[in-house]
């Protein structure tokens, strides 16, 4: 049950981050390939860095191509829909926050399952949540997310820490997930 829930978080986070990558591609007026590349890198970048640091190789989307195909499809769909939102930048900020919350918890949980220390699990949550967006911003030529909106990094940190604390305290993992998410 829990594993499904964690996988669901991961999945939603990937879709949401792919959309943020596509939105940056939209702001930069890139073509369809640019949308797909930037969206996919943003969607799977944070998790890839986490897996490489933990030594869980090959990274998750190599073993499970569905992740990759989802990113490509979502980014491609975004290419045709990207002109619709009235304010792309506001949507970007919003989605970024949602994606970070999802990834912070999912990343911390993956690390705990790998048997890391609690502090390392929190760091992995923050890394999973922030690195996809950082790579997106660096490649897109924008000021990296870490500088612009520290409030989100703080949220990722608090979410991951709360989740790890509750997990340690033996709380039902669903409770930890919910708390980490808020």
Interface positions with a second copy (CB under 8 A): 28, 30-31, 33-34, 37-38, 40, 48, 52-55, 57-59, 61-62, 65, 68-69, 72, 114, 116-117, 119-120, 123, 126, 130, 134, 138-141, 143-144, 146-147, 150, 153-154, 157
Q: How many other C-beta atoms lie within 10 A of the C-beta of residue 133?
A: 29
Question: Which CB sits closer to a second copy, 5 or 114?
Answer: 114
Q: From residue 117, give the alpha-carbon distance in Å to each of 78, 120, 130, 164.
A: 39, 5, 20, 10
Tell me the CB-side half-sphere exposure of residue 53, using CA atoms within 13 A.
20
| Whether the Cβ atoms of residue 152 and residue 137 lie closer than 8 Å to each other | no
* SS3 state at 139: helix
Q: By C-alpha distance, which of 98, 125, 99 is closest to 111?
A: 125
* Residues 116, 56: Cα–Cα separation, whole Å: 12
């Amino acid at each position: 049950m829990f594993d499904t829930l964690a996988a669901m978080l991961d999945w939603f986070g990937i879709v949401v981050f792919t959309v943020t990558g596509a939105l940056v591609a939209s702001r930069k007026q890139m073509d369809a390939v640019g949308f797909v590349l930037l969206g996919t890198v943003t969607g799977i970048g944070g998790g890839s860095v986490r897996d490489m640091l933990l030594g869980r190789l090959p990274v998750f989307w190599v073993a499970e191509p569905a992740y990759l195909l989802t990113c490509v499809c979502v980014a491609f769909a975004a290419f045709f829909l990207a002109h619709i939102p009235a304010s792309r930048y506001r949507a970007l900020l919003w989605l970024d926050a949602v994606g970070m919350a999802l990834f912070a918890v999912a990343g911390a949980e993956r690390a705990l399952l790998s048997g890391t220390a609690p502090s390392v699990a929190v760091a992995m949550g923050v890394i999973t949540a922030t690195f996809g967006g950082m790579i997106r911003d660096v490649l897109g030529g924008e000021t990296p997310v870490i500088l612009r909106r520290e409030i989100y990094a703080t949220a990722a940190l608090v979410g991951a820490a709360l989740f790890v604390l509750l997990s340690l305290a033996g709380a039902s993992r669903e409770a930890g997930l919910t708390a980490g998410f808020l």
